[in-house]
Chain A
């Protein structure tokens, strides 16, 4: 399977932005992800390239967190500033932010990055069944938070 660079750049960038909440850092991490991805080609021609790409991005984000624990606090503050920019989606963003991190990540991969259940299962290292269950849980919780009448 081959991947579309243009398309995947945006998706990995969105994923990194979700993880680090900084435009510049997210872009740096996205570019580093692609450089690492292409630095060795033995795996990408045989394995699951998309899962591999996301795993690199995820690990880079984790490394970034470890090195920049102080910055994290600063970024949480800027997150609120970003929310005001996208005012129209404020409610849904707030609702999503109340969910646990793993469910937020799942929603991002499924609905923002349009990944299939199988691909998500590979990236997150869980079974397909678990992905389905978590998705239903996340959507169920969101519905409760947002109150059904707002979306009918």
Chain B
């Protein structure tokens, strides 16, 4: 009975249709949301685990560098752990595509592409800050230069980015995240295995191999990211929008 009464109450307060609503709202000069507000709003949607894991890796590296004896073996440990940061970032992108969030996001003021790019931008910037911070910390403790150290740390990270983006572009189901997790584990394991098996991996001998691998993986990852963005652009004109 109460529910029926509550429904009836809505009609009890019916008012005549306002005559000047449309005209007033079209002329109304109201403050539009700024780009920075949009980014701030997206920041809130990124899960806390992303920040916690990134901070954790940074803190562990920091403690490892300052309180324990550091050798070049520490490079492979960190470079093996870095792909997990990109996995956490990838998980944010997968979340949108796998859990049917596009419809919600597309119905909002900003389209799916804008929302995704904003999040990717925030996550990319966060990853970049963590990587650069770790690099700078490392530089003080090893005699390797900034670029060489960068190659050793970022190449496995890029390999993981490429593999994960390849999967994200191909699959759009809930298992995508597990496959990305497997790729990350594989990259990390491969990096650790190669570092242990090949004692000269971080020497001048393999410098060129690292540089070529870095460039190839950077180009491939960039291409996969471009495909991902292109797919999102197509989603704007998806037939689901016209239903």
| Cβ of B203 under 8 Å from chain A | no
Q: Does A107 contact B9, Cβ atoms closer than 8 Å? A: yes
User: Which residues of B sit under 8 angstroms from A143, Cβ to Cβ?
Assistant: 1-2, 5
CB of A33 to closest CB in B, whole Å:
11
Cα of A2 to Cα of B25 in the assembled complex, Å: 16
Q: Among the listed stretches A9-17, A69-77, A120-128, which one makes contact with chain B, having 4 or more residues with CB under 8 Å of it?
A: A9-17
- A92 contacts B12, C-beta separation under 8 Å: yes
| Cβ–Cβ contact B25 & A23, under 8 A | no
Contacts of B198 in A (CB 8 A): none
How many residues of B sit at the interface, in one of the four size bands? Answer: 20 to 34
Inside 8 A of B20's CB, which chain A residues have their CB? 27, 31
**Does B15 contact A26, Cβ atoms closer than 8 Å?**
yes
**A14→B2 CA distance, assembly (Å):** 23
Q: Is B33 at the interface (CB under 8 A from chain A)?
A: yes
Contact B29 A38 (CB under 8 A): yes
Q: Flag if B30 contacts A14 (CB, 8 Å).
A: no
The reply to whether A38 and B30 form a contact with Cβ atoms under 8 Å apart is yes
A23 near B30 with CB under 8 A, answer no
Enumerate chain B residues within 8 angstroms of A13, measured Cβ to Cβ. 15, 18, 21
In the complex, whether A148 has a CB less than 8 A from a CB of chain B is yes
Which 8 residue pairs are nearest across A and B when measured between Cβ atoms?
A112-B13, A17-B15, A111-B9, A89-B11, A38-B30, A151-B1, A92-B12, A14-B15
